[in-house]
Amino acid sequence: MNYKKLAIIGGGAAGFFCAANLPLEKINNKLRITIFEQHKEPMIKLSASGGARCNLTNNIQDINDLVKYYPRGEKFLYSVFNQFSAMDTINWFEEKNVKLYTDECGCVFPNSDNSETITNTLLKQIPKNITEIRPGARIDKVQHENGQFILFTNNRQLEFDFVLICTGGTYSIKGPIEDFKGYELAIQAGHTIVTAKPALSSMKIADKNIADLAGITINDITVVAYFNNKKIAEHSG
């Protein structure tokens, strides 16, 4: 049987969620999927999110309110969230029998407070009979020729009909990715890249001593913020 080949570059939450939501009834076994992940294990960043509890979304129901939390791209994001919103994310996981709860800040977590609940769910939902996962496979270049995408990886060249780039941003769980190629791969595939801006947290920290604390999780603490020697915020949790 002739079938098309899809490459998903990036074995994180986005890559696996894409694979789990392909319209298989339309594909009708005419597709083969390969997920490339440069780390030895997939979804490493997801496993550590929310202090390893996995803050998978929020409970903001009004899309008009949700888009205002992003530093730019409101019009584009409004269109995106109209197709798949935070509420759709919650419903998707609950339909897969993942029980969720919302904390006082509006963050949504699995009842287990364990990120493995989410990673295991995504692994179960990908179409296993047509999907191959390749850990430790780094894509160095994408070339488009004669309607085919050629991927250069581990001294090999592989051809695909479709490519999804799900590499995330320039930071990994271990810090800045010095050899990050996600944007470069997108340009090679024919896209235009505008200057990236932080969206998850747009805070800039000038004090290196504070910046070095990134990634540390502590329970039951109080954080107080001062500006011009005046307390402007306080939060415990």
Q: How far is CA 159 from the centre of its chain?
A: 25
Is residue 150 a contact partner of residue 163, using CB atoms and an 8 Å limit?
A: no
d(CA 133, CA 137): 9
Amino acid residing at 126: I
Asked whether residue 172 carries a pLDDT value surpassing 70, the answer given is no
DSSP secondary structure of 46-93: HHHTTTTT---EE----HHHHGGGSSS-HHHHHHHHHHS-HHHHHHHH
Q: Which residues contact 124 (CB under 8 A, 6 or more apart)?
A: 96
| More confidently predicted of 95 and 179 | 95
219 confidence band (pLDDT: 50, 70, 90): confident
Give 71-91 pLDDT, tens digit per residue: 888 889 999 999 999 999 999
The per-residue pLDDT for 206 is: 74
User: What are the tens digits of pLDDT across the range 8-63?
Assistant: 999 999 999 999 998 877 776 788 999 999 888 899 888 877 778 899 999 999 99
